[in-house]
Each structure stands twice: as C-alpha cells, then as structure tokens.
Amino acid sequence: MATVTLTDNRNGKKYEFEILSPSVGPDVIDIRSLYQTTGMFTYDPGFTSTASCSSNITYIDGEKGELRYRGYDISDLATKKTYLDTCHLLLTGKLPSKSELAAFDLEIRKRSFVHEGLKNLFYAFPDSAHPMAMMSSSVSALSAFHYEHLDIDQEEEFQVMARRIVAKIPTLAALSYRRSLGIPFIYPDIERSFTENFLYMMRAYPSAKTIIRDVEVKALDTIFTLHAEHEQNASTSTVRAVASTGAHPYAAISAGINALWGRAHGGANESVIAQLEMIGSVDNVDEFIKKAKDPDDDFRLMGFGHRVYKNFDPRARILKNLLDELKEDLGVDSELLEVAKKIEEVALTDEYFIKRKLYPNIDFYSGLILTALKIPKSLFTIIFVIGRSVGWITQWIELKHDKEMKIARPRQKYTGPVSKKI
Ligand code: SDX
C-alpha cells in the first residue's frame, strides 16, 4: 500500500495516510481520518488541491489542455457527434447506436413541453427580470410539478427524471427570453431537432415562417456539447452539495444555475462581449491589458484564466476554429473578432499572463458566435445552462450511486473571538 507520512515538528508525531490511484491523473491522499487521528483540519480555500469525490464522468488534464467525457476527447464529440449523442453518452455511459439515438431523440422531443401552470410563473416577473432569475426560479418550480422525483433510487427513475430536465430546460429558457421581451410564448415543435427547436422557440412568431439555417444549428449544437460537462466546477459542486442533503434533484439544478450566474463562472460569457464592445477597437487593447495587469485595478480580462487549464482550454480552441470556419456564413462581427484575437495575441506574449498561466477559456469566444446567432447578451449564460444541465444531472445521479457519499459539510479555520460574556 502506497502511503505518505505527515510529521508534526512540534512534537515529532508521525501520521501515515494512504495514497489512492485514479485511472488517470494525479494520485490522491486519503485524508478522511486526518481530523480523527491528528485533531487537525486541512486548509484549502476554494478547494484548489482537494478532490471532493470519485467520479468516472469527465477527465480534465489542465497542463495538457485535455478534456474527455466518459473517455471520449471533446474535439471528437464536438466535431463528429451531436449534443444529443453527448447527452446519451453522459447519462448512460455509452454513445448511442443509430436506433438508440432515434429513440432518445424522440423521448427528449416529447418531454420538451412544460405544464401549462408553470407558464403563469413567468407573468409574475417584472419586465426587467434577468432571464437567469426566471430560469433558476422556473427550474426550482419544476420540482413542484414533478414532486415524484424527490425520493428516487432506481436507475430507471433517475433516467426519466434526467431526460425530463434535459428536455424542459430549453423550453424554460425560451419562455424566459420571450417573457423578457413581452412577446407571446411559442410551444416546442417536436418535428424539429433539439437545437433547432430551441432556436425555433426563440425566434418564431405565431403564424409566421421561421428561418433557421443548418449552419446556425450546427454552431449552437457544438456550443451545447462544449458546455455539457466539466467535472467538479463551482456550479457542479453546488449541485452535488444540494444533492448530498437529499433535496429534490430540480432544486439542486436550480442551485447550480444560480452558482453558474456569477461573472467568475458561467456569467463570464455575457461579460466578455460587453468587454469587447467596451474596448471597441484593436487600438484600445493595450490600454485594457494594462488595466487587467494593474493590482490596484479590479478590472479583469473576462474569458481569460481558469482554475484547472494552465495551458489552454481545448474548448476555446474548438470555438476559435469554428468561428474561423463559419464567420462568413454566420455573419460574425469581424471588428469584435479582431479585438478578441488581438487581446489573445497580446496577452499570450505578456509576462503577466504567461507567469500566471492565463489563457482564453470557453467563454472568450462563445459570445461572438451567440451574437451572430442573434442571441442577446442577457441570454448567454442561459445557453451555458442548457448545455450544462446534462452534466449537472449526470453528476447528481453518480452521487446517488456513490457508496462513499456523505452530506457535504466542510470545516473552517476559526479566527473570531474566543469567548465573550453578555
Ligand atoms: C468557467 O471551473 C470550471 O471548470 C469552470 C468552467 C466550466 O466549464 O464549468 O470552465 C467555466 O467558469 C470558465 C471561467 C470563466 N470566468 C472568467 O473568464 C472570469 C475571469 N477569470 C477569472 O476571474 C479567474 O481566472 C478564474 C475565476 C477563472 C480562475 O480563478 P483562480 O483559479 O482562483 O485564479 P486566481 O483568481 O487566484 O488568479 C491567479 C492570478 C491572480 O493574480 P495574483 O494575485 O497572483 O497577482 O491570476 C490573476 C489574479 O489576479 N488573474 C487574472 C485573471 N484571472 C486570474 N488577471 C487578469 N485577468 C484575469 N481574467
């Protein structure tokens, strides 16, 4: 048995902990008995060196810029498969055959409708409501319409619950968007594929022909695949923490949506475009790079940096190639694309970014494609939600099967007053 020994130099005491080996990636030190044997906690704000669980869903190699879902390389899935292929892979552990994909696709299409009562919720929001507020509220409300998923423990029940949420999130996203514009809701069209149907529910007007081009469906479907899963990021860890208490799975997904909303996480894609528009021209890039480097300026280059990727984010590379491939067909804003490329070029040769291993992440280029698809900035993080919903629910299911799973309850280093008298 491989072990590591901890020596307390205050008293010479030695403590031994087992080293556990993964199928690939860093070994882990099993410190579950640390507090019991040493009376001490570890200290790791932001969990930069902490493995919170065992998982066989997604593997990321931050140094090599590698991302795999169930062992398949992200670039293969993004370029050779559809988002629904990826959903089937994540949820069942295998890529679907042609007939399995057809059956899965039909099931998702049929489950894309939401209870009529749920639509009333959207009228309670003010016109100015951010779509993400409506999204997290409506997904939480979904637990009221599907309360039967609260206490489930059979794989078949997990699959029904999971397919239901994957199918309904795009419909709720479109409802959030149309409510924010005060325009009539559009029902799902089960004659259309998952991604085409979402664009249809976004764009259609009653009794008018809706134009949706294949190139647009391909671009958005790729974006959904690239966002589908990413191991124990902040929003997934939130879903797992809520799942560990036994709450309703859709309450856990709603919590994940709220965690994703933050600018440091999924909310970055909305900020990237706002930042590119603010910078406006390649001539202004140097000034903003300077601001990003200034320790006294809280300005950050949105879409840059990542907790895990310390070389490049493979998803950003795939999106950059997709932009170059489709920019004419999609009518991508060439000025903003030039600004983005100039930022990347300057930052990648600048000592500040090189030393801190800051590279473009998935959010840096995604907004340019979404803008070309006429998706408003306020909906960018919702697009991330649609892609990531399958990853969250797959992680939820894995946690439910995990014999080592315990309620998430970290400890702390207390620095407050020791004792006070009234
Ligand atoms: C996502 O975890 C995931 O997997 C997330 C995600 C997923 O798929 O789920 O990949 C999706 O959230 C992508 C990240 C989107 N967020 C942004 O683009 C926001 C801008 N980036 C940062 O805020 C930051 O880089 C983080 C939050 C992404 C990562 O933060 P870390 O790992 O905690 O790093 P840090 O904040 O400790 O920064 C280390 C250093 C600091 O400088 P020093 O104090 O050492 O001098 O790098 C600097 C930071 O100031 N830095 C930046 C910067 N990001 C980090 N400086 C300028 N611009 C930036 N963007």
The reported pLDDT for the residue numbered 218 is 96
Mean pLDDT, to the nearest integer, of 183-205?
96
Half-sphere exposure of 191 (CA within 13 A, CB side): 1
The partner residues of 370 in beta bridges, in order of sequence, read none
| CA distance linking residue 317 with residue 360, whole number of Å | 9
The verdict on the CB of residue 230 being under 6 Å from ligand 1 is yes
Residue 207 is predicted with a pLDDT of 81
CB distance 310 to ligand 1 below 6 Å: no
Share of the chain above pLDDT 90, in %: 97
How far is ligand 1, taken at its centre, from the CA of residue 104, in Å?
A: 37
Distance in angstroms (rounded) separating the CA atoms of residues 316 and 170: 23
> Strand, helix or coil at 185?
coil
Mean pLDDT, the chain, as a whole number? 96
Give yes or no for residue 67 CB within 6 A of ligand 1.
no
Q: Indicate the SS3 state at residue 139.
A: helix
Around 215, how many Cα atoms within 13 Å sit in the side-chain half-sphere? 13
Ligand 1 in contact with 122 (CB < 6 A)? no
Whether pLDDT at 142 is above 90: yes
d(CA 360, CA 372): 20
Which pLDDT tens digit goes with each residue over 404-413? 999 999 999 9
Count other Cβ atoms within 10 Å, centred on residue 37.
13
Please identify, by atom number, the ligand 1 atom nearest to the C-alpha of residue 305: 25
Which of 285, 358, 364, 394 has most ligand 1 atoms within 8 Å of its beta carbon, as the pocket-test mutant? 358
Report the pLDDT value the prediction gives residue 50, as an integer from 0 to 100: 97
Number of Cβ within 10 Å of residue 200's Cβ equals 19
> If you measure from the C-alpha of residue 361 to the centroid of ligand 1, how many angstroms do you get, rounded to a whole number?
9
Residue nearest atom 31 of ligand 1, based on CA coordinates: 307
Q: What is the pLDDT of residues 264-321, one digit of tens each?
A: 999 999 999 999 999 999 999 999 999 999 999 999 999 999 999 998 999 999 999 9
**Beta partners for 28?**
20
Residue nearest to atom 4 of ligand 1 (CA): 233
* CB burial of residue 364 (10 Å; 0-12, 13-18, 19+): buried
Ligand 1 pocket member 315 (CB < 6 A):
no
User: What is the model's pLDDT at position 225?
Assistant: 98
pLDDT digits (tens, 9 = 90+) for 121-137: 999 999 899 999 999 99
146 is catalytic: no
224 close to ligand 1 (CB < 6 Angstrom): no
% of the chain exceeding 70 in pLDDT: 100
Instruction: Please tell me if the CB atom of residue 386 comes closer than 6 angstroms to any atom of ligand 1.
Output: no
User: 230-266: per-residue pLDDT in tens?
Assistant: 999 999 999 999 999 999 999 999 999 999 999 999 9
For ligand 1, is residue 68 a contact (CB within 6 Å)? Answer: no
pLDDT > 90? residue 208: no
Q: Hey, how many other C-beta atoms are within 10 angstroms of the C-beta on 335?
A: 13
Distance 306 CA to ligand 1 centre (A): 5
Residue in this structure with the two tokens 């988002």, named with its chain if needed:
83
Q: Give pTM, 2 decimals.
A: 0.96
- Cα of 301 to ligand 1 centre, how many Å? 9
Q: What is the mean pLDDT of residues 106-135?
A: 95
**Ligand 1 centroid – CA 285 distance (Å):** 19
Residues 6+ apart with CB under 8 A from 205: 183, 184
**Chain centroid offset of residue 128 CA:** 25
- The region of weakest confidence among 23-27, 186-190, 250-254, 323-327 is 323-327
Residue 174's H or E segment, with its range, is helix 155-181
Residue with the smallest CA separation from ligand 1 atom 1 is 265
80 to 77, 83, 101, 102: CA distances (angstroms): 5, 10, 14, 17
Cα–Cα distance list, 39 to 15, 31, 327, 368 (Å):
11, 12, 59, 52
Q: How sure is the predictor about 358, in pLDDT bands with cuts at 50, 70 and 90?
A: very high
List Cβ neighbours of 396 (8 Å cut-off, separation of 6 or more): 162, 239, 240, 243, 249, 252, 253
Res 203: pLDDT: 95
306 is catalytic: yes
Helix, strand, coil percentages in the chain from 3-state DSSP, rounded to 5: 55, 5, 40
Residue tagged active-site, from 88, 149, 306, 313: 306
Cβ-contact 312, 65 below 8 angstroms: yes
Does the pLDDT value for residue 206 go beyond 90? no
